[in-house]
Amino acid sequence: MSEICHTYSQQLMGTTVSLQLFVENLPAVSAVFQTIQALETRLTVNRNHSEVMSINHAAGSQPVVVSKLVFDLIRQAKQASLLPHSCFNFAIGPLVKLWKIGFNGHNVPPAEEIAQRLTLANPELIKLNEKNHTVFLTRTGMEIDLGAIAKGYIADITKLVLASYGIHQAIINCGGNVLTIGSSPLSSNQQWHIGLKRPFAAADSLLGILHVQNKSVVTSGIYERYFILNEKLYHHIIDPQSGYPLDNELQSVTIISDNSLTGDIYSTILYGLGVERGLKELEKHQYMGAIFVTKDKKIIIKSNQHFEFKSLADDYQICS
Ligand code: ADP
Ligand code: MG
Ligand code: MG
């Protein structure tokens, strides 16, 4: 194909964000990166000041007014946290801060401390007022953490930004959250080719390639941020039931969906459900496809006709 591809990248949201366009449009590029930066500044819990941090700082004392954009994400985060059997929990902050997985000072905390913080990780104790756009964490020490979904939400918004510049073919990669927009000018069947990473291997080592059009591809896995102590691996998705990293047969779950926020939410939820219950849950969500990768080297594919998968891993067994 003779298409000219323009690639831009910046370090944002603790990762490399890259954008690929097929027309030259620098105002659109800077609008995308500025939007991401502005949203990160509102949503982050890795700095002392942000809209979300102002909610956290007021825990146990008062409701805080937030912008419509932040409120909208928090409303959806609460809904996802209250779904039956959902291990997604946006009130998980006190535990994330205790474990510090992926940050300096990570540790296995004392069991009593985990138990104490678990009582604070309760989404029911987060009160939202739709009319005033206020959020109130009703107990001291509570903390919202949107780390599992902020990138998806932001990726979806960048798609709107690009559309406002008349751009309907692009790909944006927010450190693993990939959003493909429209059809690909790079391949004859107009499908985008997205790599699925091999767990615990070099970044360019792939299990296979997904072929998609106009879809988000989001992975939650145990191999991006973790530490090992006494031969046990501790990764960054915390089980809101136990307070410890979720422990099951999975290495990762990838969700293929129209929007990236949904992909982000369900990659965490299906990760927590494991293969059997995850596949059952997927039956209720025909608008998504998924790939489960297990520790015993199986790749379980449920495409729901949203993608094709070409394996590159002879040592993994494909089940579909
Ligand atoms: P990444 O940060 O690599 O994109 P994920 O999208 O899977 O990975 O999100 C992991 C992050 O989500 C954690 O670093 C933490 O901030 C937050 N988190 C951890 N456990 C949960 C949970 N049970 N529910 C919601 N968010 C969580
Ligand atoms: Mg996620
Ligand atoms: Mg993520």
Instruction: Name the domain count of the chain.
Output: 2
Residue type, position 313, single letter? A
Residues 272 and 130 in one domain: no
Can you point out the beta strands (E) in the chain? 6-12, 15-21, 64-65, 126-129, 134-137, 170-174, 177-181, 192-197, 206-212, 216-221, 226-229, 232-235, 250-257, 289-294, 298-302, 308-311, 317-319
In the prediction, which pLDDT does 1 show? 53
Are residues 303 and 320 in contact, defined by beta-carbon separation less than 8 angstroms? yes
Residues 133 and 154 in one domain: no
Beta bridge partners of 182: none
Q: Is 156 in the pocket of ligand 1 (CB under 6 A)?
A: no
Of 108, 137, 166, the one marking the end of a domain is: 137
Q: Is 235 in the pocket of ligand 1 (CB under 6 A)?
A: no
Backbone angles phi, psi at 152, to 5 degrees: -65, -45
Residue among 76, 78, 96, 225 to mutate when testing ligand 1 (max atoms within 8 A of CB): 96
Are residues 175 and 168 in contact, defined by beta-carbon separation less than 8 angstroms? no
Is there a domain that residue 267 lies in? Answer: yes
Report the complex ipTM. 0.97
Residues 235 and 302 in one domain: yes
Residues 126 and 269 in one domain: no
Is there a domain that residue 40 lies in? Answer: no
**Closest Cα to atom 11 of ligand 1:** 148
Residues 271 and 124 in one domain: no
How does 74-97 read in b/e, with b if 16+ C-beta sit within 10 Å? bebbbebbeeeebbbbbbbbbbbe
Is there a domain that residue 81 lies in? Answer: yes
Q: Is 154 in the pocket of ligand 1 (CB under 6 A)?
A: no
From the CA of 42, how far away is ligand 1's center (Å)? 17
Q: Is 291 in the pocket of ligand 1 (CB under 6 A)?
A: no
User: Whole-model pTM above 0.95?
Assistant: yes
Residue with tokens 């905390």: 109
Backbone angles phi, psi at 307, to 5 degrees: -165, 165
For residue 149, give the DSSP letter: T
Residue type, position 217, single letter? V
Is there a domain that residue 245 lies in? Answer: yes
Q: Is 268 in the pocket of ligand 1 (CB under 6 A)?
A: yes
Residues 64 and 168 in one domain: no
> Which percentage of the chain shows pLDDT scores above 70?
99
How far apart (Å, rounded) are the C-alpha atoms in residues 232 and 224? 15
pLDDT 10s digits, 264-289: 999 999 999 999 999 999 999 999 99
Residues 22 and 99 in one domain: no
In the prediction, which pLDDT does 203 show? 87
Residue among 46, 118, 145 to mutate when testing ligand 1 (max atoms within 8 A of CB): 145
Residues 129 and 156 in one domain: no
Q: Which atom of ligand 1 is nearest to the CA of 218?
A: 6
pLDDT 10s digits, 158-188: 999 999 999 999 999 998 899 999 999 999 9
Residues 266 and 229 in one domain: yes
Q: Is 93 in the pocket of ligand 1 (CB under 6 A)?
A: no
Q: Note every long-range contact of 6-14, with CB atoms under 8 Å and residues 24 or more positions apart, other chains counting.
A: 8/33, 10/36, 12/36, 12/37, 12/40, 12/174, 13/40, 13/44, 13/150, 13/151, 13/154, 13/174, 13/175, 14/46, 14/175
From the CA of 267, how far away is ligand 1's center (Å)? 10
Q: Which of 2-11, 116-125, 141-150 has the lowest mean pLDDT?
A: 2-11
Q: Which atom of ligand 1 is nearest to the CA of 175?
A: 4
Give the chain's mean pLDDT: 97
Residues 159 and 285 in one domain: yes
Instruction: Indicate which CATH number applies to the domain containing 73.
Output: 1.10.3980.10
Residue among 237, 244, 262, 267 to mutate when testing ligand 1 (max atoms within 8 A of CB): 237
Residues 185 and 302 in one domain: yes
The H-assigned helical ranges of the chain are 26-43, 51-57, 68-82, 93-99, 111-118, 150-164, 260-283
Domain range enclosing 272: 6-32+149-319
Residues 229 and 311 in one domain: yes
